[in-house]
């Protein structure tokens, strides 16, 4: 059994119950909190490795809890829970240090897999390759802003590799900013002139007529 507990924070009882049941198969101790204040009290008194945190709660909301945790207990990996359509809030939370997000309504299997992956690396920092993988997952789902945050974190961890810059170029292009896409693709090639996805993306970007389809995200990197 994992020694550090997972804390579920949500003001809706049915959500707390559903998440608790989702984690039963992972053999991890689970505690719940119905408010931000209760969560902070439990965090101060207990040992937690992961927290599933609803952002919108009465009183002390999830964003304030996240700020406190990022400052006082940065070792806790936080998965935020957002309502459908709250992507701007999710982006802000990711910038504050959340490692992933769930959007309501969610699937039990999705929750379990997220937590399982974090448990496998509970004592380790999230690495460059992890952020690249997370960014690509979110790109496939169409969450480009979230993917961009992951890619930027990857650049911060290793500014000498081209993959994250190529992803940022693709995100810029997919959201209509061809000039910014050109800068990112070029920056990726400055780091590695042989990096194929950025080569082909830049070539397609400059072609006449321009074809917006076929962005290469580097999923089959060499």
Q: What are the residue ranges spanned by the domains of the chain?
A: 5-125, 129-206
Q: What's the pLDDT at 220?
A: 64
Residue 33: phi and psi, rounded to 5, are -140, 140
Residue 3, pLDDT > 90, answer no
Measuring CA to CA, how many Å separate 35 from each of 7, 38, 57, 58, 76? Answer: 12, 5, 7, 7, 18
For the chain, the average pLDDT equals 90
Integer Cα distance of 146 and 91 in angstroms: 6
Instruction: State residue 123's pLDDT score.
Output: 58
Cβ-contact 6, 23 below 8 angstroms: yes
Between the alpha carbon of residue 183 and those of residues 65, 81, 125, 168, 187, the distances in Å are 37, 33, 30, 10, 6
Which CATH code is given to the segment(s) 129-206?
1.25.40.10
Burial of residue 142 (CB within 10 Å: 0-12, 13-18, 19+) is: exposed
Coil, strand or helix: which one is 50? strand
Indicate if the pLDDT at residue 222 is higher than 50: no
Residue 110, CA atoms < 13 Å, CB-side half-sphere: 12
124 or 94: which leads in pLDDT: 94
Local confidence band at 212 (pLDDT 50, 70, 90 cut-offs): confident
Core vs surface per residue 13-28: b (16+ CB within 10 A) or e:
eebbebbeebbeebeb
Q: Are 132 and 154 in contact (CB under 8 A)?
A: yes
Could you confirm whether domain 5-125 is CATH 3.40.50.2300? Answer: yes
Q: Which of 47, 52, 50 is nearest to 9 (CA)?
A: 52
Q: Which residue has the higher pLDDT, 57 or 121?
A: 57
pLDDT above 70: residue 195? yes
């Amino acid at each position: 059994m994992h020694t550090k507990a997972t804390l579920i924070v949500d003001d809706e009882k049915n959500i707390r119950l559903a998440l608790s049941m989702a984690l039963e198969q992972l053999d991890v101790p689970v505690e719940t909190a119905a408010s931000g204040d209760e969560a902070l009290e439990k965090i101060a008194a207990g040992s937690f490795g992961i927290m599933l945190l609803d952002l919108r709660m009465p009183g002390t909301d999830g964003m304030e809890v996240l700020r406190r945790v990022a400052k006082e207990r940065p070792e806790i990996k936080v998965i935020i829970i957002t309502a459908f359509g709250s992507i701007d809030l999710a982006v802000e939370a990711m910038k504050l240090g959340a490692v992933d997000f769930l959007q309501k309504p969610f699937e039990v299997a999705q929750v379990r897999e997220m937590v399982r992956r974090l448990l496998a690396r509970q004592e380790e920092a999230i690495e460059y390759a992890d952020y690249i993988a997370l960014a690509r997952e979110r790109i496939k789902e169409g969450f480009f802003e979230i993917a961009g945050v992951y890619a930027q974190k990857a650049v911060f961890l290793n500014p000498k590799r081209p993959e994250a810059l190529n992803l940022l170029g693709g995100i810029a292009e997919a959201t209509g900013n061809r000039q910014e896409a050109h800068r990112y693709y070029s920056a990726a090639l400055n780091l590695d002139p042989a990096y194929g996805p950025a080569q082909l993306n830049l070539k397609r970007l400059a072609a006449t007529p321009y074809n917006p389809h076929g962005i290469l995200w580097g999923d089959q990197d060499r």
